[in-house]
Amino acid sequence: MGFSEIDSDAISTYCENFNEEGSRNFGDITKIESLPQHDFMTAGVPCQSWSIAGKNLGFDDDRGQLWNDALYLLNKVRPKAFIFENVKGLSDPRNQDALNYILGRIKDAGYYAKPYLLNAFDYGVPQHRIRIYIIGFRDKKFADNFSLPMPSEFKVRLRDVLDNGSVPKGQLFDSATSRWSLSMNIKGMNDYFLFNDIRDGQTTIHSWDILDTTERQKEICLMILRNRRKRIYGKLDGNPLSLENLQSLDESVTQGEVDELVEKGILRPEEYLFRKQSCSKALDEDEWVVLNSSKGNTLNVDDLKTDRNLKIKKVNVLKTLDSLVKKGAVKCVETRYDFKNSKISTGLFGVNRIFLPSSNIYPTLVASDTNDFITSTEIDADNIEDFRKDFLDKVYKTHNFRKITKAEACRIQGFPDNYLLPSTRPRWMKLIGNSVAVPVINKLANAVVATGVFD
């Protein structure tokens, strides 16, 4: 048995928990020329190149190239079977060519393989964690014998794994009262509240719900929220709107009203459209690349942010534009306005989501941790207005919520409570978030063994 890892915490944690010698680590996969002969290979290369949380650069990202190293070793060692794991994004249409390339390399190596999308929630943990698993065999008859393990009949729910949970383990999950992504109660209302200014929903809390705002200010905020994703305003998933844009929707909106929302910290001004100017000052490489990426005499931010060439070159668009303005190479000719809090995962005021104790499922654990919290306070109301009010009064305003503990994170990912991990939260959360859901891999490995490939 051996492994390839470069992260010091991951190495020491693995060796400590499984009583392995550090010499079992083959080190940096990019420097491995060969491996000892073995029958079963598992691999999970870094996911950022394919994740929606990254820049979606795929093989244009150095981390995406690690797939080639894994495939090289597969072809070099030629084990009887393998399991490769990666994020769901690898199976998305935008990455279809990359997935086809990987499957093609595997086929060229003489393997019979198929990709599968599985959610960890179906296999014994209360976590929404969809991953792609590529499972392959050197011999076709074993590939034909392989079948996916059946999902667990009894689903573990979030409250089953929380400290001081009040519900016995193994409760039957009622799919009729919950949706695929997260969770709803029996009255059809979400079992969690989302703190966000760029999405809307019955249990979404906006900054204008928390801060002292007038009804008129709430109307303007909702108008921006409901229009910022329309394609007429730009190419991005969410686009800033100019005063002229707002007045085309409601001609009574004034600059003063927009400025008040900026002062409250709900909106922020963004320099959006720039016109080229004659400039005698020397420009660096990034500035020239940005300046020459425009069509005509103007530059707009959404064109630059979606320019793949700039992503590959890792050009910081906003920083470079600011530098060009200071050198007089471009001049801002249009300012637009967007919500100050415009990142979904960041949430508002340090809170992204708060999950009620009745929730069936928790979101995907990630290495960077999240601003997700849980509360032990039960909320019961017959209508959404009272549901929201009770939540704000009994949970949010009283700060009656907390982050999950180390032991809870272990259970959500399928590790035992006593699994040895580093002491500080950023370090143990990085390891747990980067890990696979243990029950999924356990059942997949057993399914591979059940084909008789190792007999």
Catalytic residues: 47
Contacts of 374 (CB under 8 A, 6+ apart): 158, 162, 354, 355, 357, 359, 401, 402, 403, 404
Half-sphere exposure of 297 (CA within 13 A, CB side): 6
**Residue 64 dihedral angles phi and psi, to the nearest 5°:** -65, -25
Contacts of 149 (CB under 8 A, 6+ apart): 123, 443, 444, 446, 447
Please report which residue ranges of 275-371 form alpha helices under DSSP H. Answer: 285-292, 301-305, 308-312, 317-326
DSSP assignment of 134-147 equals EEEESSHHHHHH--
Beta pairing class for 353-355 and 372-374: parallel
Task: Indicate the helix (H) or strand (E) that contains 331.
Answer: strand 330-339
Q: How far apart are CA 7 and CA 27, in angstroms?
A: 9
Strand 330-339's sheet: what is its strand order?
Answer: 298-300, 267-276, 330-339
Q: How far apart are CA 431 and CA 422, in angstroms?
A: 9
Q: How far apart are CA 45 and CA 63, in angstroms?
A: 8
Q: How far apart are CA 120 and CA 129, in angstroms?
A: 5
The identity of residue 63, as a single letter, is R
The identity of residue 351, as a single letter, is V
**Which burial class, exposed, middle or buried, applies to 293 when counting CB atoms under 10 A from its CB (0-12, 13-18, 19+)?**
middle
Contact 294, 302 (CB under 8 A): no
Closest CA to 213 of 143, 265, 284, 251: 265
